[in-house]
Amino acid sequence: MSTGIDVLAILAGQQTMPTDPVRVKAVIDCAARAHLLASLFSHMRPHLGGKALDVAQNASIKAEADARMLAFEAERLQRIFHGTGMRIILLKGAAYVAAQHGFSVGRRVSDIDILVSENDLLAVEKALRGAGFIPHAHAQSVYDQNYYRNYMHELPPLVHKHRRTVIDVHHRLTPRTSRISVDTAAMVAASQPTAGGALYTLAPIDQFLHAALHGLYDNSFDTPLRTSFDLFSLWSVLSAADKADVFCRAAAIGLEVQAHGALDLLCRLGLVDRKSVPARKSVAGALAYARIQSGIGAVLAHGVFSVREHWLRMPMRLLIPHLARKLGLWLREKVQAGRQSHQ
């Protein structure tokens, strides 16, 4: 069993922390690389001392700062959109914190993701611009602006000019050009208000399905342990009725394949009993499980995920010129960096 699977089993409460110092260090290092060290801290506290305790406490302090940032920015969003009648839906980490899920304690967050109706998109962007958000430096070129607005599922990222907080404004859950068609409108309609009432989150069952989509089908599965922990945690907080209905709901909004892939992965990891869910074995689940392991299998799985991510996102007639442009920019940056280093 890999150290990554040990980390997941400890987080899931299915395994205790090892007592051997070598294994403890391996678990700490693995959790730190996966941005799960703060989440693991409560499980590790009795087994840590010295420098290892300092490292874990430092991760926990950073996660607490992230939570305060999220709370502050959520309050600002409520002010910006108060009285507008527009539904602002928090996604991913921001949603987990807002819903006060236990598993959100210790979660690291680098930006805020929101989902809005496509009909409200221009008004939302105007309101955020008026509140101090400006185009991110990485998406200011005419090409990047057109790429996001014509093909993607979100606006070019915005950053606050003073606080430097990054916000991603989604109007769909998959790119316009994606081979995966999701009924985003149905998920928006089923969204639920947060405790404060001014912001929303996706319904619990849709949060799980969105995590399955985003984690295993809409990116390169670059954070396999955190994605797996999110999927397990979101599945665990579902009601019995939602669990029984998950495949019906998934089929209704176009995410049946994604639901099977996510649950197949959780079964392979031993976090969910396969006898309790009618999940089919899937290629995505097998690849994700291989990605969590170490060795050549993980490297190959990562490569397959990367190729598949691009193939799912857009047709080849758009993808090849886009990748060629990105490669050209990357090579130019490398050449410029090399010249500067020799000056």
CB neighbour list of residue 338: distance below 8 Å, 6 or more residues apart = none
pLDDT of 219: 66
| pLDDT average, residue stretch 252-271 | 95
Q: Could you tell me if residue 158 is inside a domain?
A: no
Identity of the residue numbered 168: D
Q: 98 with 114: CB under 8 angstroms?
A: no
Q: Is 178 left (phi over 0), alpha (psi -120 to 50) or beta?
A: beta
What's the pLDDT tens digit per position in 132-190? Answer: 999 887 777 888 888 888 888 999 999 999 999 999 999 999 998 888 889 999 999 99
User: Which burial class, exposed, middle or buried, applies to 241 when counting CB atoms under 10 A from its CB (0-12, 13-18, 19+)?
Assistant: exposed
Q: Could you tell me if residue 248 is inside a domain?
A: yes
Distance CA 285, CA 288 (A): 5
For residue 273 the two structure tokens come to 């009993």
Q: Which domain holds residue 209?
A: 203-303
DSSP per-residue letters across 192-228: EE-TTSSSEE--HHHHHHHHHHHHHTSS---SHHHHH
Q: Could you tell me if residue 182 is inside a domain?
A: no
| pLDDT average, residue stretch 50-75 | 86
Q: Could you tell me if residue 323 is inside a domain?
A: no
CA angle, residues 16, 19, 22, in degrees to nearest 5: 120
Distance CA 48, CA 19 (A): 9
pLDDT of 8: 92
In angstroms, the first-to-last Cα distance of the chain is 49
pLDDT of 168: 95
What's the pLDDT tens digit per position in 277-331? Answer: 988 899 888 988 988 887 888 888 878 877 877 777 776 777 777 677 777 776 7
Q: Could you tell me if residue 299 is inside a domain?
A: yes
Q: What is the pTM of this model?
A: 0.89
* Structural domain count of the chain: 1
Q: Could you tell me if residue 277 is inside a domain?
A: yes
Asked whether the predicted pLDDT for residue 339 surpasses 70, the reply is no
Q: 78 with 98: CB under 8 angstroms?
A: no
pLDDT of 241: 96
